[in-house]
Structure 1
Amino acid sequence: MTVRPPLDTARILAAEYGQQLDPVNYIVGVAISGRLRLHAALPSTPNPAPSIVQAVDPLVTPDNLAQVLDADGSVQSGFVWAGELSAATGDDRYADFLIGIANRYLDLRPDGLPHPIDPDNRVEEVFFAGALLGRAFQRTADPRYANALAAILGRVHAQPGSGLWWHCGASPFYWGRGNAFAALGFAEALSYLPAGAAGRDALLAEHTAHLDALIRHQHPSGAWHQVVDRPDSYLELTATAMIGYALARGIARGWLPADSGANYRPAVDRAWAAVNERIDDAGMVRDACVGTGPLPTLDDYLQRPAATGHDDRAGSMALWFALECAALDTRS
C-alpha cells in the first residue's frame, strides 16, 4: 500500500471526526483540536471555526464549568481545543474556560494530590495533566501551572528495568495505549514548559528513556503491540499514533535529535506507515483497542477487542499524528 502523505490523511480524518463535542471527552476534543490545526497549517482548507463555535458554545458556560470541574480528567481534557479556538476567533471565552478547568489542578486534597488525580497513578492522567496545565501556562505565563505540572509528572515513573509504564498500581501491565498516554503527556508538557523551568530536565530524561524503551519494542512494520512487551498481542493503532506523535513532536521541537543515528526519525517514519495502513480513504480505521479502564489480569488486556470502522479515539489521535508528521516534514 502506498503511504499517503500526512496532510492527505489529515484532510480525510478532519472530515470524519471532531464534528461535535459529544460526548464531552478528550477523544472528541483532540479531533476538534486537529481540525483547527489542519486549517492553521493549510489555510486553503475550509475554516472549521464557525461550525466548532456552534457546537461548543452551549458548553462554555459557568454552569457547565461547575459540572466539568466535578468530572474526571477524561472529560476535562475534552477542552484541549480551547486555546486554539480562541486564537482562531479572537474570543477569549474558550481559553478562559480551559484555565478555569486547569485551576482544579491547583486545588489539593488532604493527601497532597490535585483533585482530578487518582492516587493509584492511572497513566491516562499523565496526558490529562500535561495537556491542561501546559495550555494554561502557555496562555497565562502563571508559574503555578508550570510548577503543578512538573510536580504531578515528577512523582510518577516508568518501571525500573523495563523502562515501561504500568496502567496503574492495580493493573501492573504494559498496556500499549497506557504507555502511549505517558509518552503523549510528557510530550505535551515539554511543549509548554520553557527551557530552564524547574523540573523540566528531569521530565525530559524520564521521557527520553521511556521512548528509547518503546522503540526497542516497535514491530518492524512500525506499529506497537496491544501489550507492549507481548509480541503475541495484536498490533494496535491508537498506541502507534500517540507514540508516533510524541516522537515527531520531540524532533520538530528540538528536544529529540533529528539525525537517523538516534533512531527517533526512523521510528516516526515506520509508525506513520503503520498508521497510514490502518486508515482507509473514508477515514475508517482498524486495529483500534476499544475503551479500556484498569483491568485485573494480563489476559484481559490481551483479549481486549479492537474496533474497525468509525472510531473517534483512533481517528482523533491519528489526526494529531498526521499533522505532527506534516510539521516535522516542513521543518526538516
Structure 2
Amino acid sequence: MKRSTPVILGLLLACSSTSFSQSANLTTWPKGASPQEVGKRVAARFVATPHTNFNRPTPPSVITYPETCAWYGALKFAKATGNDALKDDLIKRFEPMFTTEAKLIPPVTNVDWAVFGSVPLQLYMQTKDKRYLELGQGIADKQWAAPDEKAKAKVKPEQMLAFEKGYSWHTRMWIDDMFMITALQTQAYRATGDAKYINRAAKEMVLYLDSLQKPNGLFYHAPDVPFFWGRGDGWMAAGMAEILSSLPENNPDRARIMKGYKTMMASLLKYQAPSGLWRQLIDEPTAWEESSSTGMFTYAMVVGVKKGWLDKKTYTPAARKAWLGLVSYIDENADVKEVCEGTNKKNDKQYYLDRKRIVGDLHGQAPILWTAAALMN
C-alpha cells in the first residue's frame, strides 16, 4: 500500500528498534510527524470537508457521528494549540445549525445521534456563548429523560428496562456506546460542573464493563457477537480515557473503571503489530491493520501516560510507535487510509474481515485529532 512519501523515511527510522529505544518519548518527533504538524493538516482537511454521509455521495439527513467526533477533536486540537483561526473556522461551520442547517441537528433518538451534543458543549467551553450550552445540555438531558412517543416506538423492551433501573434508554450493549454516551455526558459535566452528568456516565460505563469485558481485557462487539472488532474496542478504550480524565477521585465507580481501563491497555500491548498498528480483529494475526482503531487505542494510551495512570517505561514506547505508524497512513491530502467502513454487529467473523477499507472516512480523522490534542496537552 502506498503511503505519504514526505515523512516515510523518517517514520521508518523512528519505528526501528534501535532508534526507538533511544527516543522513547512523546515530545520529540521526526519532521512531519509531530502532533502540531499532523493535527494542523488533518484539522484543515476537516474544515474543508462538507458534511459527510459516511463517505457516500448523497448529503446526510443529519450530522453523522464520525463528523461529530472529528469536529470535537478539531476543537480540542484548536484549544491545545491556541489556534484561534482554526477555532473561528470551526465556529463558522456550526453557525448555520442555528439557522439554515438546523434540520441537520440529529434528534436524540439513539447514541450515534446524541453524541452530537458534545460539539456545542465544547464550543460553549471555548466561547461562553450560552446558545451552545442550551443546545448541548438539552441533548444530554434528553438522553436520560423518558423517550418521547416518537422515539418510544423504536425503543426495545430491554432498553426501557435499563431506563427503569436508572440507565439511559439508549443502552443497547454495543461497545460503541461507551464513547457516544460517555463523551456527551462527560462534556455536560465539564460545561456545567453538575456532577449528575459524570455520575450517569460512570454508572453506565460500569454496567458495560461488568457485562462485556472479557478476562483478556478486550470486548466483544456485543454479547451475541464473539469477535474483538478493532474500532468497537477503540470506542471503549477512548470512552474510558475520556471519563477518567474528568471523573472525581472520590467517585465510587472510579476504581472499577480504572481497573477495566488498565486491564484493556495491558492486553493491547500484546496485540500491537510490529508496524505500531492494531488489526481489524485485534487477536487475528492475519487480519488487516486498521487505522481508526489504532487512533483510538493510541489516544487512550497517550492520555494514560500523560495522566500517570500507566507506567511510562512500558507504555510510552508503545504509544510512540502507534502514533508514528498511524501518521504513515495519512496521505498527501491529509486523508487517513485503511479505515474500516461503518459497521453494524454481525455474528460472522468473515463479515468483519471483509469490511471495506476506506480512505478519508472521518472515523479515521477523528482519533488522530484527539491524539494530537492529547500529545500537545
TM over 0.5: yes
Q: Map residues 77-226 of structure 1 onto 2, 5 A cutoff.
A: 77-107=115-145, 110-113=160-163, 114-119=167-172, 121-157=173-209, 158-226=212-280
1:317 partner amino acid: P
Match of 2:93 among 55, 68, 77: 55
- CA deviation after TM superposition for structure 1 residue 282, in Å: 2.1
- CA deviation after TM superposition for structure 1 residue 64, in Å: 5.7
Q: Indicate how the Cα distance of structure 1 residues 206 and 248 shifts in structure 2: closer, same or farther if over 3 A, else same.
A: same
Compare 290-299 and 84-93 and name the one that shifted more: 84-93
Percent identical among aligned pairs is: 26
**Aligned equivalents of 2:282 and 2:187: distance in 1?**
29
RMSD over aligned Cα atoms = 2.3
How many residues are aligned here? 320
**Aligned equivalents of 2:358 and 2:116: distance in 1?**
21
**Contact 1:26–1:80 (Cα < 8 Å) also in 2:** no
Q: Indicate how the Cα distance of structure 1 residues 79 and 146 shifts in structure 2: closer, same or farther if over 3 A, else same.
A: closer
**Contact 1:83–1:95 (Cα < 8 Å) also in 2:** yes
Structure 1: runs of 5 or more not aligned: 328-332
Find the counterpart in structure 2 of residue 70 from structure 1.
108
**Contact 2:201–2:243 (Cα < 8 Å) also in 1:** yes
What TM-score, normalized to structure 1? 0.88
- CA deviation after TM superposition for structure 1 residue 103, in Å: 1.0
What SS does the corresponding residue of 2:245 show, helix, strand or coil? helix
Find the counterpart in structure 1 of residue 34 from structure 2.
5
**Aligned equivalents of 2:104 and 2:87: distance in 1?**
25
**Contact 1:27–1:78 (Cα < 8 Å) also in 2:** no
**Contact 1:65–1:97 (Cα < 8 Å) also in 2:** no
Q: Indicate how the Cα distance of structure 1 residues 60 and 302 shifts in structure 2: closer, same or farther if over 3 A, else same.
A: same
- CA deviation after TM superposition for structure 1 residue 276, in Å: 0.8
- CA deviation after TM superposition for structure 1 residue 78, in Å: 2.5
- With a CA cutoff of 8 Å and minimum separation of 6, indicate the structure with the bigger relative contact order: 2
What SS does the corresponding residue of 1:15 show, helix, strand or coil? helix
**Aligned equivalents of 1:247 and 1:92: distance in 2?**
34
For 1:119-141, what per-residue CA distance to the aligned partner results, in whole angstroms no more than 9, with x for missing partners? 3x101100011101111112222
Find the counterpart in structure 2 of residue 301 from structure 1.
352
**Contact 1:163–1:210 (Cα < 8 Å) also in 2:** yes
For 1:153-175, what per-residue CA distance to the aligned partner results, in whole angstroms no more than 9, with x for missing partners? 11112443332101112322100
What TM-score, normalized to structure 2? 0.78
Q: Indicate how the Cα distance of structure 1 residues 166 and 18 shifts in structure 2: closer, same or farther if over 3 A, else same.
A: farther
* 2:338 matches 1:287: yes
Q: Indicate how the Cα distance of structure 1 residues 197 and 64 shifts in structure 2: closer, same or farther if over 3 A, else same.
A: farther
- CA deviation after TM superposition for structure 1 residue 239, in Å: 0.4
* 2:66 matches 1:16: no
2:114 partner amino acid: Q
**Aligned equivalents of 2:105 and 2:38: distance in 1?**
35
What SS does the corresponding residue of 2:162 show, helix, strand or coil? coil
- CA deviation after TM superposition for structure 1 residue 81, in Å: 2.4
What SS does the corresponding residue of 1:111 show, helix, strand or coil? helix
For 1:204-248, what per-residue CA distance to the aligned partner results, in whole angstroms no more than 9, with x for missing partners? 111110111111111121100100010100011000000100111
Find the counterpart in structure 1 of residue 371 from structure 2.
321
Structure 2: runs of 5 or more not aligned: 1-7, 12-32, 53-59, 147-158
**Contact 1:77–1:131 (Cα < 8 Å) also in 2:** yes
- CA deviation after TM superposition for structure 1 residue 284, in Å: 2.2
- CA deviation after TM superposition for structure 1 residue 200, in Å: 0.8
**Contact 2:231–2:280 (Cα < 8 Å) also in 1:** yes
**Contact 1:14–1:35 (Cα < 8 Å) also in 2:** yes
**Aligned equivalents of 1:72 and 1:273: distance in 2?**
35
- CA deviation after TM superposition for structure 1 residue 320, in Å: 1.6
What SS does the corresponding residue of 2:358 show, helix, strand or coil? strand
**Contact 2:175–2:236 (Cα < 8 Å) also in 1:** yes
**Aligned equivalents of 1:125 and 1:274: distance in 2?**
27
Find the counterpart in structure 2 of residue 278 from structure 1.
329
**Contact 1:106–1:145 (Cα < 8 Å) also in 2:** no
Q: Indicate how the Cα distance of structure 1 residues 193 and 127 shifts in structure 2: closer, same or farther if over 3 A, else same.
A: same
